[in-house]
């Protein structure tokens, strides 16, 4: 089960003034899954307006209804092997989205599996959160407990010329539990819980 407070701790920092996002990458695809352009840039190089717009997209994933729209899954040990999706996600996170070959592999994987009748965009965000210690009275201390390095992916329908709508599917990897990263878990988001994208869990 996902602790709502853990997710709120992440989302409270997703404002232009507080964010520590390092990078944003992604691609645009047509309804058939053909890639129609990619992007990959340092998040700090964005304008304040673009930071705000993109943080709303990223924030929608952890801020969604916990354990309803956002559900945690554990990778089976047998699936955490070379060539697996777990290895690809781990490598993407570790390089901070800077390896274009890894990103292309991920976009192609999404294009092969994602079912939609509309053009859409894939956004991937990378962040390093310096998790502060908390005292026994739950007041924050200045010392850092750990650095939580993670990615947020959001798949959004396009509503105009490369203008993304609200995310329909996405994930937080690794998951964040008890104020710490869970490297063998992923939190998967489905906007429509009655018609989830089950094909993306295969």
**Residue 130: is its pLDDT beyond 70?**
yes
Task: State what percent of residues in the chain have pLDDT above 90.
Answer: 87
* Of residues 185, 184, 149, 187, the one with CA closest to residue 169: 187
- Please report which confidence band the pLDDT of residue 192 belongs to, taking 50, 70 and 90 as the band edges: very high
The SS3 assignment for 123 reads strand
Convert the pLDDT of each residue in 21-33 to its tens digit: 999 999 999 999 9
CA 25 – CA 140 distance, rounded (Å): 32
- The mean pLDDT value for 130-155 works out to 77
Task: State what percent of residues in the chain have pLDDT above 70.
Answer: 95
**How does the average pLDDT of the chain come out, rounded?**
93
In contact, 80 and 72? CB cutoff 8 Å: no
- Please report which confidence band the pLDDT of residue 202 belongs to, taking 50, 70 and 90 as the band edges: confident
- Please report which confidence band the pLDDT of residue 133 belongs to, taking 50, 70 and 90 as the band edges: confident
Q: What is the pLDDT of residue 143?
A: 59
In contact, 30 and 36? CB cutoff 8 Å: yes
CB atoms within 10 A of CB 119: 17
- The mean pLDDT value for 36-53 works out to 96
**Residue 116: is its pLDDT beyond 60?**
yes
The beta-strand segments (E) located in the chain are 21-29, 35-42, 70-74, 120-134, 140-157, 169-173, 175-177, 180-182, 185-190
**Residue 144: is its pLDDT beyond 80?**
no
CA 44 – CA 23 distance, rounded (Å): 8
**Residue 160: is its pLDDT beyond 90?**
no
Got the DSSP string for 88-107? Answer: HHHHHHHTTT--HHHHHHHH
CA 148 – CA 174 distance, rounded (Å): 9
**Residue 141: is its pLDDT beyond 70?**
no
Domain boundaries, the chain: 4-193
- Please report which confidence band the pLDDT of residue 158 belongs to, taking 50, 70 and 90 as the band edges: very high
- The mean pLDDT value for 100-115 works out to 96
Q: Taking the CA atoms of the chain, what radius of gyration do you get in angstroms?
A: 16
- Please report which confidence band the pLDDT of residue 132 belongs to, taking 50, 70 and 90 as the band edges: confident
């Amino acid at each position: 089960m996902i602790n709502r407070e853990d997710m709120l701790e992440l989302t409270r920092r997703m404002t232009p003034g507080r964010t520590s996002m390092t990078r944003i990458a992604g691609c645009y695809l047509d309804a058939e899954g053909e890639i129609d352009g990619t992007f990959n840039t340092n998040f700090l190089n964005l304008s304040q307006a673009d930071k705000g717009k993109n943080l709303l997209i990223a924030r929608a994933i952890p801020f969604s209804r916990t354990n309803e729209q956002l559900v945690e899954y554990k990778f089976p040990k047998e699936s955490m092997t070379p060539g697996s999706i777990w290895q690809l996600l781990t490598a993407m996170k570790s390089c901070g989205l800077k390896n274009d070959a890894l990103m292309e592999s991920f976009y192609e994987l999404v294009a092969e599996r994602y079912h939609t009748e509309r053009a859409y965009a894939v956004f991937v965000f990378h962040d390093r959160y310096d998790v502060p210690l908390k005292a026994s009275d739950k007041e924050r201390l200045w010392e850092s407990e750990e650095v939580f390095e993670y990615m947020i992916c959001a798949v959004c329908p396009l509503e105009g010329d490369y203008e993304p709508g609200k995310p329909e599917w996405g994930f937080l990897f690794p998951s964040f539990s008890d104020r710490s990263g869970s490297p063998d878990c992923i939190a998967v988001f489905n906007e429509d819980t009655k018609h989830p994208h089950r094909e993306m869990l295969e």
